[in-house]
């Protein structure tokens, strides 16, 4: 990893942990630069058909109910295309909207609005989808102790954006990447020689890590991990009776996280076992975009 990439990751990590607006703004701007480079390239040929002096206004309309997310990315995109564009948000970040609600209004040069349109909608539809899905899962476990947690199954290049959207929807961020925490899976355990051995190795090399977490697949492994001093344990694909027994055995000694096969249909019983966290790859991986459209004045 070069210094530039390390700096971007550090910036994103700070924004997620500390909710620093300056960090999120910098990350959003970087994402917007790449998105516009991809879409606009050397110039918008079709927008050049429009009179350069033509001014217009546009409304972004939600075509379905959603939790709105992505304002920093939308604002960054519009200002990069043309600082003269005026932006007025009608639905706040993290707030719910209904179908046919106007989410924001934009005024300025017609060419600029046409150039920015698709990139703006791409960010808004993806991040609102993640936030909306997260909020649905959060609501499903309301009243239990379980937090809804994301993982690393994200779109390449947009991990920080998607994890920001999870937080906007009321979820909790897991590790950002391989660099900030230790998550020991079955292959790590096998390669290191067992649960106790791998935890001992982790303690020696993971100074400054956000956390050390170990995955277990059986109650015997859980007991070994607890005896070895584990403070965060991932219970992988366990049945409900086994999860209840795992919570009893743990007795509050370690943070317990459930992973694998989580759906809206089974999440409530999982949460009611008393686990602390439920991690769900579908929050960021299996996402159906929220439908938004941009309508210019007169259309």
Contact 70, 87 (CB under 8 A): no
Least Cα distance to 106 among 117, 95, 96 occurs for: 117
pLDDT in tens, 24-51: 999 999 999 999 999 999 999 999 999 9
DSSP annotation of 184: E
- pLDDT value at residue 22: 56
Share of the chain above pLDDT 90, in %: 89
Phi-psi region of 43 (alpha: psi -120 to 50; beta: other; left: phi over 0): left
Q: How far apart are CA 21 and CA 68, in angstroms?
A: 17
pLDDT tens string, the chain, 299 residues long: the values are 343 334 444 444 444 544 444 589 999 999 999 999 999 999 999 999 999 999 999 999 999 999 999 999 999 999 999 999 999 999 999 999 999 999 999 999 999 999 999 999 999 999 999 999 999 999 999 999 999 999 999 999 999 999 999 999 999 999 999 999 999 999 999 999 999 999 999 988 888 899 999 999 999 999 999 999 999 999 999 999 999 999 999 999 999 999 999 999 999 999 999 999 999 999 999 999 999 999 999 66
- As a whole number of angstroms, the distance between CA 270 and CA 273 comes to 6
Residues 45 and 227: their CA atoms lie apart, in Å, by: 66
Question: What is the distance, to the nearest Å, from the Cα of residue 248 to the centroid of all Cα atoms in its chain?
Answer: 31
Nearest to 278 by CA among 223, 213, 221, 234: 234
Non-local CB neighbours of 181 within 8 Å, separated by 6+ positions: 174, 175, 209, 210, 211, 212, 213
How do the domains of the chain map onto residue ranges?
Answer: 3-133+287-296, 140-283
DSSP H or E segment with residue 103: strand 102-109
pTM of the model: 0.91
Range 3-133+287-296 classified under CATH 3.55.40.20 = no
Percent of the chain with pLDDT over 70: 92
What is the C-alpha separation between 100 and 63, in angstroms, rounded? 5
Task: Identify whether the C-beta of residue 34 lies closer than 8 Å to the C-beta of residue 156.
Answer: no
In this structure, are residues 56 and 283 in contact, taking their beta carbons and an 8 Å threshold?
no
List residues with catalytic annotation.
Answer: 118, 153, 185, 215, 236
Domain 140-283 - what CATH class? alpha beta
Residue 60's DSSP bridge partners are 104, 294
- In tens, the pLDDT along 244-286 reads 999 999 999 999 999 999 999 999 999 999 999 999 999 999 9
């Amino acid at each position: 990893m070069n210094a530039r990439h390390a700096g971007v990751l550090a910036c994103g990590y700070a924004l997620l942990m500390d909710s620093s607006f300056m960090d999120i703004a910098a990350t959003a701007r970087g994402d917007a630069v790449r998105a516009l480079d991809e879409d606009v390239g050397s110039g918008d040929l079709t927008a050049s058909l429009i009179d350069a002096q033509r001014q217009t206004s546009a409304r972004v309309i939600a075509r379905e109910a959603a939790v709105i997310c992505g304002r920093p990315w939308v604002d960054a995109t519009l200002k990069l295309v043309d600082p003269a564009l005026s932006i007025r948000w009608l639905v706040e970040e993290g707030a719910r909207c209904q179908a046919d609600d106007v989410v924001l209004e934009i005024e300025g040069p017609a060419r600029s609005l046409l150039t920015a349109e698709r990139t703006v909608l791409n960010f808004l539809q993806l991040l609102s989808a993640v936030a909306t899905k997260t909020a649905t899962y959060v609501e499903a476990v309301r009243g239990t102790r379980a937090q809804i947690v994301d993982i690393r199954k994200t779109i390449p290049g947009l991990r920080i954006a998607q994890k920001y959207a999870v937080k906007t929807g009321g979820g909790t961020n897991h590790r950002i990447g391989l660099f900030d925490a230790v998550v020991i899976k079955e292959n790590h355990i096998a390669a290191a020689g067992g649960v106790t051995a791998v935890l001992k190795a982790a303690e020696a090399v993971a100074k400054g890590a956000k956390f050390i977490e170990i995955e277990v697949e059986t109650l015997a492994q859980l007991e070994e991990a607890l005896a070895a001093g584990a403070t965060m344990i991932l219970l992988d694909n366990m049945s409900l009776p086994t999860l209840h027994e795992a919570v009893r055995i743990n007795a509050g000694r370690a943070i317990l996280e459930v992973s694998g096969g989580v759906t809206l249909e089974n999440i409530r019983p999982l949460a009611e076992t008393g686990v602390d966290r439920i991690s769900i790859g579908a929050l960021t991986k299996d996402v159906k975009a929220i439908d938004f459209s941009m309508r210019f004045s007169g259309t």
